[in-house]
Structure 1
Amino acid sequence: MSEQQTAAEVAEPQEPIVIQQLKEKFSDHILAFIDQRSELSVIVSKDASFEILEFLKASSNPSYDFLVDVTAIDYSQMEDVLVEYDYARFMVIYHLNSFMTNERLRVKVPVNEKELTIKSTVALWKSADWLEREVYDMFGINFDGHPDLRRILMPDDFEGFPLRKDYPLRGRGEREKFNFGRENV
């Protein structure tokens, strides 16, 4: 500790710049910040999620110019999480990376089961195309404005969404019916 630093300055960790920027610009839409094991997450409202992601890509310091992944979590069996986020059953999660600083950031967006739609980010990152299709296919979450939202992993006639918590662990008989398109398999 130098003579010019006070004990309070040393003891109090500096808040990341991107958090300061998000608080300043989107304070009404930030639900929470989580810094766990030096991995930063921000939980934002669905209404402003596209604008926040757009800001993080183009205007924040550092800019998070690479979309690593889009995924979702079904919190239907976790009452404490449901209560905390106004009973939003799903959380869509964007994993971002800054090429400039190699910093990662997770942006989490609560999505209510009754309104299973969130704005597509394909206009920001072309790589979101198949990632959003996978989330749609596995969880049934729609991405408004997606150029080609259809199943990507499951057959077109498949009913249900296999990564939802209410989907049966052993399936609904599709394993017994599956034959690779051939009769005697």
Structure 2
Amino acid sequence: MNSFSTVFLAFAMSTDAFAAAVGKGMALRRPRFSEALRTGIIFGVIEALTPLAGWALGTLAAEFVAEWDHWIAFCLLVFLGLVMLTKGIRNGHEEPPPVARHSFWLLAATGFATSIDAMAVGVSLAFVDNNILITAAAIGCATLLMVTLGVMLGRIIGHVAGRWAEALGGIALIGIGSAILYEHLTH
């Protein structure tokens, strides 16, 4: 795999995480850059580890990962989205208390849900001439960048969306999960 392919793959793997980060940024009250960077680091580390795990599993789990990755991502993202949507609707009639930061576990669960496809890519990379460490590092760095920017973009969108920002973020996560499922079922 050449350098261009590696960079392209890295940014392609981070698009779901970017969209989820926009939703996370919308749910926060004026997130600071440090919170966006923290979110980017969590997502980036997870996104870098999953292709390594997939590569290590290789042929042992290839069928399972390829067969179920979209269902796992769909269920996790819809669950997290429904939680955010429910909280947003409940708080939509009143001014919600400011949320300064998301918990590590919520970010890790969202990061994992958006990186399951990277695990499947890692499995496929076990069968081609590729330096998995460089590829995983590129995916992690691209995700860190995209998620950090996504949270800051979510800050702007969240300010415009006002009280309904968390509900809109939940809808975004449900949409991402549905898109992942639809993409895999139609191909």
* Interval of TM-score (by shorter of Structure 1 and Structure 2): under 0.3
**TM-score after normalising by structure 2:** 0.25
TM-score (normalised: structure 1): 0.25
Higher RCO (CA 8 Å, separation ≥ 6 residues)? 2
Give the strand-richer structure, 1 or 2.
1
- The structure whose residues are more often helix, as a share, is 2
